[in-house]
Amino acid sequence: MSHATPAGQPTTHPAHRPLDQAARLGVGFIGGGFMAEVHSRATRSARARLVGIASSTPTRSALAAENLGFDGFFDSAESLLADDSVEVVHIVTPNATHFELALAAINAGKHVVCEKPLTTSVAHAVDLVAAADAAGVTATVPFVYRFHPMVREARARVLAGETGRLLTIQGSYLQDWLLEPTDDNWRVDSSSGGPSRAFADIGSHLVDLLEFVTGDRIARVQALTRTIFAERSTNKAVTTEDVAAVLLQTVGGAVGTLLVSQVAPGRKNRLHFEIAGTQESIAFDQEDPETLWLGRGVGTQLLRRELGMSDDAMRLSTLPPGHPLGVQDAFNSFVADTYAAIGGEEPEGLPRFEDGLRAVRITDAVIASAATGAWIEIEGTEQ
Ligand code: SOE
């Protein structure tokens, strides 16, 4: 590994740091873009060592190491994986590269955090789950919206029977960052993003959250997708969807609808769900994550984060009530729990590769249904 910045300034070698630092988990990143920034803040907050980073070229790796505060950089993913001081690898690269990189990391004996979607095909996600199990490594996927305390509170209410039998689900995840035909990104190109774009990118968070909170499972889906702009500034023959509308049934007998769009004007990152049981409805909005709406025939209320909530909600309340927590805090809690699992603990609700596989299966079913109009069963769902 090189320990120089692009400008040739020396950086601190791990061997020169105080001894107590040596006990900290050594972390390496593959990928140096927007998500690497978010992950690096969480890694630092968990007091792990940012050992080194490998991006697409050595120059980019050096720049990312400098910008994100890593000790150094690696010339390639291979050299990062060969370094013994890297114990856990975060994979924050385009979707289509996840499978090979995650498999190589597992084969090198590393623990892995791999961005969602875990893979761009079901077969590859199945292989990764099997490989991580066989190697006995901790392997997680950042379904970070699970880490908002109020999401845990919603889940606890469902588990405690407060909502009654689940009747309906209404979920949406709306963004507008691809609103204009001039907006473009690697996610738009199926060769880097995979065959699904909007659903794989953000629908995956939505279905993960719905199954996590309700404890029910999506049994079958029927979907319509639309590509609003067949041509964007760089991608001239776009095949991935801007919009997906889904009808669903759960194993428990509930029915529901999902709307996922990356062309919804004014909606920046609005993940919203409302579930209705026989006794209570619960609504959550990711852009206002400190509250839950609790609907009742009589006694409807807006619950703000407060003392005395469920143990799991309190555990993730890293600041006292009245001090709003946001998505970076959720991210920090996810990474802290991943590292705790590596240390032998069993944190509640940690999204692992099996959960990544689950979202890949549902995405695959959505795309298959949109192609034929047929209802598609979600493979691997116990009835
Ligand atoms: C872009 O659509 C994106 O950054 C997603 O990739 C993230 O998973 C989501 O949390 C926010 O939007």
CA trace torsion 129, 201, 105, 59 (10° rounding): 170
pLDDT at 381: 86
Whole-number Å distance, alpha carbon 88 to ligand 1 midpoint, is 22
pLDDT at 1: 56
Over residues 113-155, the pLDDT tens digits come to: 999 999 999 999 999 999 999 999 999 999 999 999 999 999 9
pLDDT at 18: 46
Pocket of ligand 1 (CB under 6 A): 175, 201-202, 205, 269
pLDDT at 6: 36
Please state which of the four CATH numbers 3.65.10.10, 3.30.360.10, 1.10.150.130, 3.30.200.20 is assigned to the domain occupying 145-319+351-377: 3.30.360.10
Residue of 177, 269, 286, 329 with the most ligand 1 atoms within 8 Å of its CB, for mutation = 269
pLDDT at 5: 36
Interatomic CA distance for residues 48 and 63, integer angstroms: 20
pLDDT at 10: 32
Name the stretches of the chain with pLDDT < 70: 1-22, 383
Q: How many H-runs (helices) and E-runs (strands) does the chain carry?
A: 13, 15
pTM value is 0.94
**For domain 14-140, which architecture applies?**
3-Layer(aba) Sandwich (3.40)
Q: Token pair 């140096």 is at which residue?
A: 32
Q: State the Rg of the chain over Cα.
A: 21
CB atoms inside a 10 Å sphere around CB 249: 17
pLDDT at 337: 98
Residues of the chain with CATH 3.30.360.10: 145-319+351-377
- Do residues 188 and 232 make contact, with C-beta atoms less than 8 angstroms apart? yes
CA trace torsion 188, 189, 193, 194 (10° rounding): 120
How would DSSP label each residue in 92-116? -S-GGGHHHHHHHHHHTT-EEEEPS
pLDDT at 11: 33
Measuring CA to CA, which residue among 244, 172, 245, 163 is closest to residue 210? 172
Residue nearest ligand 1's atom 9 by CA: 202
Interatomic CA distance for residues 379 and 356, integer angstroms: 14
pLDDT at 23: 74
Is residue 18 reached through a cis peptide bond, with omega within 30 degrees of 0 on the bond before it?
no
pLDDT at 72: 97
Strand partners, 154: none
Residues of the chain with CATH 3.40.50.720: 14-140
Interatomic CA distance for residues 328 and 44, integer angstroms: 12
pLDDT at 30: 98
